[in-house]
Structure 1
Amino acid sequence: MSAPSPDTARDHAAAAITAALADPAKRPIVKSFFDEATFTVSHIVHDPATKKAALIDSVLDFDPPSGRTSHASADALVAHVEAEDLTIEWLLETHAHADHLSAAPYLQEKLGGRLAIGHEIVTVQEVFGKIFNEGTEFRRDGSQFDQLFNDGDRFTVGTLEATVLHVPGHTPACLAYVIGDAVFPGDTLFMPDYGTARCDFPGGDARTLYRSIHRLLSLPDEARVFLCHDYKAPPGRTEFAWETTIGAERTGNIHVREGISEDEFVTMRTQRDATLAMPRLILPSVQVNMNGGRPPEPESNGTRYLKLPLNTL
C-alpha cells in the first residue's frame, strides 16, 4: 500500500490550532446567531487584540409566498458589530447555500469587508447557470466575489491566522475556514448526534464527502467547531446546538465516527439522500447565492424575478 500523500494545508491548519490552544491571544472570540426559519447559524469571529472581524454565512430573510425579503437577521449582526466596535475585514461564505439566501451584499454595504468563497464556485455557476438558463450576461468566473479561495490559502483576521481547507462532497465548492483554534466547516458536518450533509445536489458525492470530513477529523481534538446548521437530533434533544469539538465529532458523529468505513458511509448516505425532499428554498437560494448574494437584475418594469424551473431538480 502506498503512503498517503502529504496534506500541507491540513497540517498547517493543525499547527495553527495547536499554537492557538497554547496561547489564548491567538484564539478568536465567536458570537453566533441562529435563524430558526432556515435553521442556519451565522458567526461573527473577531480578534480580541485588534477587534478586526470576519462574518461567516449570513442570512437574508425571505418569505416565499410573498416573494418579500427583509433584513432582521442581518441587522442583528450589524447591531453586534456596532455594539462591540468591530471592524469587518471579511464576509466569508462556506459555499453557495441551497437553504437560505445570503445577506452578504447588504452587510458589505453596511459594514464593509471583502466577500469571499471557494474557487469552485465557478463549477456551481456553470451547472446552475444552465439549469436556470442564465444568459451570457451572467458571469461564470466567480467575479461577483472579491476573493476566490483555493485549498491551503491563508489570510488574517486582525492578528489571527486563518487557513482555507477545500472540503467538497456536499457541493463542489465547500470550504472550511480554520481561524485560530476555531473550525467553520459549513454544511460538511452537523452536530455529532445529527451527522453529516446530504450529497445529492448537482456536483455532490458521498465518497468525496467522507474523505473531506476525515481531513477535518484529523485536526486536533480540542479544536472548537462552529456549525452552519442544526435541526435538533431526533429523538430527545430539545435545544438547538451548533458548537462542538473535533474530538467529539471524531468519536461520536453518528455517520462518520471512528470505525465507520468509507463504503459503509457511502451506502448510508446514498440511501438516506434518496428519501430527502429538496430544500424548501433551493431554487431562490442558489439563484441569488451563486451571484454573490445578489438577485437578478430588474426587468423592463423595474421588478426583479426569480425563476422556477419545472421538473428539473
Structure 2
Amino acid sequence: MLATQIVTDTRAGEVPVPVVRSFFDEPTFTASYVVYDPVTRAAAIIDSVMDFDPASGRTDHGSAQAIIDYVRAEGLKVEWLLETHAHADHLSAAPFLQEQLGGKLAIGRAITTVQSVFGKIFNEDTQFERDGSQFDHLFDDGDRFLIGSIPAVALHVPGHTPADLAYVIGDAVFTGDTLFMPDYGTARADFPGGDARMLYRSIRRLMDLPRETRTFLCHDYKAPGRDDFVWETTIGQERDSNVHVHEGVGEDEFVEMRTRRDATLGMPRLILPSIQVNMRGGHLPEPEENGTRYLKLPLDVL
C-alpha cells in the first residue's frame, strides 16, 4: 500500500521539496519511507521492516525488497538509513538494505541507554557492545545534515523510549512512534526508559513546527470508525484534533491519561525479538557453534 507521491517545484534558487514514498507493512502496521531530493536523486530510507514469523522463527526480506526495487527503478542513491528508535514492534531490515544499496545507518545517541537497559534484560555478555558502535552514525539533538541539497535536522523526542528521534527533512517531519494520526492519539510510554511527561514535552516540541509541515507517522492501527490505514497528516491537524494532545491539553492531564491507558495495554507481539535485533542495528545475533542463530525469551521480566 503506497502513499501519494509528491511532485515538487524546483525553480532556480529554491530548495526542492522532498519526494516521499511510503511502504506500509500491514502485519506490523508499520510505514517505512523513502525520501529523496528530486534534483540530485539522493535518498534516505526511514524505519525499514524485516519480515519475521515468530511461530516458525523464519525471516524474509520481501518488504525490504520492495524498497530496493523502487530505489533502483527511480535511480536513487541512498545516503542514509535512518532509524527513529529501537522499535518494539518490528525488526529492522537496515543491514540488508545497506548491503544492497549502501548508505550510512544512523540512530539517536541515546540508543546507548536502550542497549544498557536491554543488555541486562537479555543477559548479554561483554561481546555485545553498549556504545552504539553497531551504527555508522549517532545523532545528537539538533544535528543537521543533508539529503542531496535538502536540509535535514535530527530532533531528540524521548518519552516513548529514551532514544526516539524525529527527522525534519525539508517541509516534512518523520515522527517515529511519538505521534499517531489525530483520531488515534499518541505512543505509549510504559516501556523500560519511557516517560509520559517527557513524551508530552517532545510532542509539544514537534507541534512548534509550522502548521503546514507534512507529518509522516511510523504506524497506523485504524482508529475506531475508520476503515482505511492512514499515516500522513500535518502538524496543524495534530494541533487541532489529536484526541490525546490537541491544543489546550495540559501536561498533567496528558500524563494522567497516558499512564492510565498504558496500564491496560499488553506488550507488543514482537517486542522480545524486535528489541534484541534492533539494539544491534538490525543485525541478528551471531550464530552459535552449530551454525544457528538464536533469540532469547526472558521469562517474567516485562
TM-score by length of structure 1 reads 0.92
Q: Which amino acid aligns with 1:309?
A: P
Aligned residue for 1:71? 61
Counterparts of 1:256-275 in structure 2, within 5 Å, are: 256-275=245-264
Contact 1:167 1:174 in 2 (8 A): yes
Tell which has more relative contact order, 1 or 2 (C-alpha 8 A, sep 6+): 1
Q: Helix, strand or coil: the match of 1:31?
A: strand
1:28 corresponds to which of 10, 15, 18: 18
For structure 2, which runs of at least 5 residues remain unmatched after alignment? 1-9
Per the alignment, residue 244 of structure 1 pairs with 233
2:193 to 197, 203, 208: 203
C-alpha separation in 2, matches of 1:161 and 1:126: 32
User: Hey, which of these two has a bigger chunk of helix by percent?
Assistant: 1
Query: Quick one: which amino acid aligns to residue 284 of structure 1?
Result: P
Match of 1:82 in 2: 72
Alpha-carbon separation, structure 2, partners of 1:24 and 1:33: 28
Distance 2:184 2:195 in 1: 19
- For residues 300-311 of structure 1, the aligned pairs below 5 Å read 300-311=289-300
Deviations 1:229-267 (A, max 9, x none): 000001x11000000000000111000001111011000
Q: Which of 139, 145, 151 is the equivalent residue of 2:141?
A: 151
Counterpart CA distance in 1 for 2:14 and 2:159 is 33
| 1:294 aligned onto 2:297 | no
Identity of aligned residues (%): 73
Return the offset for 1:24: 6.4
Mapped contact 1:25–1:48 kept (Cα < 8 A): no
Q: Does 1:224 align with 2:214?
A: yes
| Deviation, structure 1 residue 27 | 1.2
SS in 1 for 2:289: coil
Matched position secondary structure for 1:295: coil
Note the C-alpha offset of 1:147: 0.2
Deviation at 1:25, TM superposition (A): 3.9
What does residue 166 of structure 1 align with?
A: 156
Letter in 1 for 2:145: F
Shift of 1:284: 0.1
Q: Is 2:37 the partner of 1:37?
A: no
CA distance in 2, matches of 1:229, 1:158: 27
- How far apart, CA to CA, are the structure 1 residues paired with 2:14 and 2:55? 47
- Match of 2:151, as an amino acid? E
Aligned residues: 291
Q: Which amino acid aligns with 1:61?
A: D
1:53 paired with 2:43, answer yes
Q: Secondary structure at the match of 1:26?
A: coil
Q: Secondary structure at the match of 1:278?
A: coil
Letter in structure 1 aligned against 2:83: E
